Chains A and B, each alone.
Chain A
Amino acid sequence: MDAYLVAILTIAGIYIILALALNLQFGLTGLVNFGVVGFFCLGAYASGIATESFHAPFVGGLCVAMVTGAVAGGLLALLSLRLSGDFLAIVTLGFAETIRLIFNNEDWLTGGPKGLLIMTRPVLADYSRSANAWMVLAVVLTGAVLTLALMLRLAGTPYGRVLRAIREDELVPATLGKNVFVYRLQSFVIGSVLMAAAGSLYAHYVQTITPDNFTTPVAILVWMSVIVGGPGNMLGSVIGALVVVTIYEGSRFLTPWLGFLDAEQVSALRFIVIGTVLILVIRFRPEGLLPEPKHTPVVPATRRPALKG
């Protein structure tokens, strides 16, 4: 039971980082990134390949993952950020699928569907299995706490206020001389770097990664964390990720009561419930569990005054 709790907390920590990164992009800046799982996957493989094929230490792998995430995020952003929201969503979704396809096919590099075995772990040598698990948890939670601190700091600064203003109406900040594109690019790249870092932590935690670890359900869970927690509220994302991981992992315990269903059906049922809850939350409580605190806008909120009666 202890081991199970450690495992769930580790997964939760990784989801917290993913959710915070997405919250920066979507909640704060209004960028619809459906490629969360692509950056997560990219980070995991980049880190795994760096440590296994090139014998880098764990920290080296983490850095490689973050640089890879930054480059990929920057390229995607340059490609699609100038266009409206829907296009970014389509491009990022296609990006995630394509990344998965590449890692599935290029097995000389990634081991393909058989998976990539990762021996490097962020632990001290010569300790027991359970002590190692605690150490990995500590590393992941440190990452999550650092990410949260960074995000809270970002959201509170004038920088965060500009991002929020861009989300509300890109014309107003633009007329005030803010380069909207650069702000969006920065927000997107920071988010991508964090997602890739989460991928690195994940890879060195599970130790075997296959492209099947990085499919739509992961993206849905991360999106659900942000939406349930409250878009724009950083603490909300932490709570959202905890709630979502608890529901998702906890629903395993329902399996014995669903004995008349086979394993495939139980798994399908969990996803049906998750997808439905996501739609219901968007419809009935779009502000999430923790609504975004009201901030004084950078500029008076009067938009296009009504000219006619």
Chain B
Amino acid sequence: MTLLCLQNLRAGYGGGDIVHGVDLAVAPGEMVALVGPNGAGKSTLLKAIAGVAKVTGGTLTLDERNLIPLTPAARAQAGAVFMPQDRNVFRTLTVTENLSVSAWGCRDIAQRRAEVTSLLPTMRPYMHKRAGGLSGGQRQMVALGMALMARPRVLLVDEPTAGLSPLLVGEMLDVLRELAAAAALGILIVEQNARAALERADRALVLVDGRVVRSGSAAVLAQEPDFGALFFGEAA
């Protein structure tokens, strides 16, 4: 059963394509990692799914519903929720407010907040602090919580570990791994720490110059002898 399905998806920011035809499927409870060298189009692909970058060709469906004509807000409502890499919390709002405001228009905000805090219990001690005053790891946790407030079916996570210490990198990825299992959530993650991501993901795609050059089981890919070369793009 697939949740999110991309066929021959092309995307960019209006000045020529950056993603040149990608096929990809994510099932519920599955964590899929997108790895590849800088400038490969990983983030662009994620943003195209979220509606922040422009889809220029191919198909993009969630539960067989076409996402392409929808605005970013409508896509979030449909279940494809994006967690940006940076500036991903409202710095002047408290953590509680950050969560509440992310469920705009919902009647059951308090209930959703309770759900999210039980999924991410490490947030509890700093719920009343302003998000701008949190540490990097705490802030990423809040950003994740904000994305979860929309009750996603598939979570699009853009480099959640950027700028975190190696210890926190593993912790963040473990949280995502557990979330996928616990909430039957599909997770598509762009990650610079390719090895750490492959250790937790079910499947992985290696993207070079906007094309998938290798895909399959994360564990198998991690064992490949030319993995380093693939990751740095020399084999493209």
User: Which residues of chain A come closer than 8 Å to B18, judged between CB atoms?
Assistant: 309
Give a binary string over A277-309; 1 marks a CB under 8 Å from any B CB, 0 the rest. 000000000000000000000000000001111
- CA of A225 to CA of B136, assembled, Å: 50
Query: Is the C-beta of B139 less than 8 angstroms from some C-beta in chain A?
Result: no
- CA of A307 to CA of B39, assembled, Å: 7
Interface locus among B41-49, B181-189, B193-201, B212-220: B41-49
Query: Is the C-beta of B38 less than 8 angstroms from some C-beta in chain A?
Result: yes
- CA of A23 to CA of B232, assembled, Å: 50
Question: A305 to chain B: closest CB distance in Å?
Answer: 10
Question: A201 to chain B: closest CB distance in Å?
Answer: 51
- Number of A residues contacting the other chain (C-beta, 8 Å)? 4
- CA of A309 to CA of B42, assembled, Å: 6
User: Which residues of chain A come closer than 8 Å to B43, judged between CB atoms?
Assistant: 308-309
Residue of B nearest to A309 (CB): B39
Which chain B residues in 1-57 approach chain A with CB under 8 Å? 18, 38-44
Most chain B CB atoms below 10 A, which of A306, A307, A308, A309: A309
- Number of B residues contacting the other chain (C-beta, 8 Å)? 9
Question: A58 to chain B: closest CB distance in Å?
Answer: 58
Question: B211 to chain A: closest CB distance in Å?
Answer: 12
Question: A304 to chain B: closest CB distance in Å?
Answer: 14
Residue of B nearest to A308 (CB): B43
Residue of A nearest to B159 (CB): A308
Residue of A nearest to B190 (CB): A308
Most chain B CB atoms below 10 A, which of A306, A307, A308: A308
User: Which residues of chain B come closer than 8 Å to A308, judged between CB atoms?
Assistant: 38-39, 43
- CA of A308 to CA of B86, assembled, Å: 12
Question: A302 to chain B: closest CB distance in Å?
Answer: 15
User: Which residues of chain B come closer than 8 Å to A309, judged between CB atoms?
Assistant: 18, 38-44, 210
- CA of A204 to CA of B226, assembled, Å: 84
Give a binary string over B158-189; 1 marks a CB under 8 Å from any A CB, 0 the rest. 00000000000000000000000000000000
User: Which residues of chain B come closer than 8 Å to A306, judged between CB atoms?
Assistant: 39
- CA of A309 to CA of B48, assembled, Å: 12
Question: B102 to chain A: closest CB distance in Å?
Answer: 24
User: Which residues of chain A come closer than 8 Å to B39, judged between CB atoms?
Assistant: 306, 308-309
- CA of A307 to CA of B162, assembled, Å: 13
Question: B155 to chain A: closest CB distance in Å?
Answer: 20
- CA of A305 to CA of B104, assembled, Å: 36
User: Which residues of chain A come closer than 8 Å to B42, judged between CB atoms?
Assistant: 309
User: Which residues of chain B come closer than 8 Å to A307, judged between CB atoms?
Assistant: 38
Residue of B nearest to A306 (CB): B39
Question: B50 to chain A: closest CB distance in Å?
Answer: 15
Residue of A nearest to B19 (CB): A309
Question: A306 to chain B: closest CB distance in Å?
Answer: 8
User: Which residues of chain A come closer than 8 Å to B210, judged between CB atoms?
Assistant: 309
Residue of A nearest to B43 (CB): A308
Which chain B residues in 81-122 approach chain A with CB under 8 Å? none
- CA of A306 to CA of B18, assembled, Å: 13
Question: A281 to chain B: closest CB distance in Å?
Answer: 28
Which chain A residues in 23-73 approach chain B with CB under 8 Å? none
- CA of A309 to CA of B11, assembled, Å: 12
Give a binary string over A97-129; 1 marks a CB under 8 Å from any B CB, 0 the rest. 000000000000000000000000000000000
User: Which residues of chain A come closer than 8 Å to B41, judged between CB atoms?
Assistant: 309
User: Which residues of chain A come closer than 8 Å to B38, judged between CB atoms?
Assistant: 307-309
What 5 pairs between A and B have smallest CB-CB spacing? A309-B39, A309-B41, A309-B40, A308-B43, A309-B44
Name 10 extra pairs, CB < 8 A, besides A307-B38, A309-B38, A309-B39: A306-B39, A308-B38, A308-B39, A308-B43, A309-B18, A309-B40, A309-B41, A309-B42, A309-B43, A309-B210
User: 12 A-B pairs, CB-CB below 8 angstroms?
Assistant: A307-B38, A308-B38, A308-B39, A308-B43, A309-B38, A309-B39, A309-B40, A309-B41, A309-B42, A309-B43, A309-B44, A309-B210
B residues apposed to A, CB below 8 Å: 18, 38-44, 210
A residues apposed to B, CB below 8 Å: 306-309
